[in-house]
Amino acid sequence: MQRILRIGTRDSQLAVWQATTVQSLLAANGIQAELVYIKSEGDLDLHTPLYAMGVQGVFTRALDSALLNDRIDIAVHSMKDVPVQLAIGIEEAAVLERASHKDILVYKEDATFLDHLQSYAVIATSSIRRKAQWLNRYPNHRIENLRGNVNTRLRKVAESDWNGAIFAAAGLERIALRPEQTIDLDWMLPAPAQGAIMVVARANDPYALEACAPLNHQDTATCVKQERSFLSALMGGCSTPISAFARMEKGALHFTGSVLSADGADKLEIERIESDPALFASIGSNAAKELIQRGADQIIKKFRQNG
C-alpha cells in the first residue's frame, strides 16, 4: 500500500493555496498526499509588529514541531518566513519555481502622492524592511502597523483612512485577491526568497525527500539560496531591514542587496553579476562581506540596540 504524505500547513487562504499546489504537483507524479492544518503563533497574535516579536520562525515553528513529532511528513512555507538556519532534523526538500518577487502598493483614492518624494501620506506595513525602504524614499510619510493574513489586511486597508498599504505581489496574485488599484514597487528590493515556496521534510525520511525532489526548480533554488546567504552573513532575520534579490539571466547570476537603518536615513546597496557557475555559491556571502566593510555591521548594530 502506497504511503500517503501528510502535508502540514497553516489554515490561512494563502497557506492552504500553497499546500494544495504542492499536493497537486505530488499527485501529478503519482504521490498521494493529504492536508493537515496547524495553527502558528504568527496567526494567533495579530497585534504585535512582526519585527517586535523577537524570535525568528514565528510562522514556521509550529509546523517544525509537528514535523519533528511525526504529526506531518512535509511542511509548506512562504520561503521568506523560514529562518536561514533550519531546525535540527529538518531539511529542504524542494523550492518551487518563484512567482513575482515584487512588493506592491494597494492604494485608496489615487496614487499621485507617489510622484512627489516630499509629499505627506500614511502607509501601512508591519515589515521593518518595507518601512525602512519607504522612509528612505518618502521621508515625510508616516508608517502604520498592519498585521493579519492577506484577507484581514485588505479589509483593514478598506476600512482605514490610510493612503495605502504594502503587500507582496505573489501573495495576492496566488489567491486572485490583487485589487485593481495597485502599483508595482519596482524600486523596492524584496525580502530574501520573497515569492518562493519551500517544502521541508524530516532529514531521516528518505521517502518524503525523494517524493518532493522532482518539484525543485533549480534556478529558483540557486537564487534564493544566495539571497539567504546574504542575510545569514549579515546575521539578519525577518526582523532586520535587509533586502536581497537574485535572478538568472543568460546563464549569469545577477545579485542586488541592501541594508538600511530603521528610519531609512542610512542605506548601503550592492550589485554583482557572476557568469561563472562555480562562483554562484559565494556571491551572496561575498556581497555581505563587502557591505560589512562599508559599514553595514554598524547599521545593523544600531538597529538592534534601538530595537
Catalytic residue set: 81
CB 82 within 8 A of CB 61: no
272: which strand partners? 255
CA dist., res. 83 & res. 238, Å (int): 8
Residue in the block written with cell 528612505 = 136
How far is Cα of residue 18 from the mean position of the Cα atoms in its chain?
14
CA dist., res. 294 & res. 273, Å (int): 19
CA dist., res. 19 & res. 234, Å (int): 31
CB 185 within 8 A of CB 102: yes
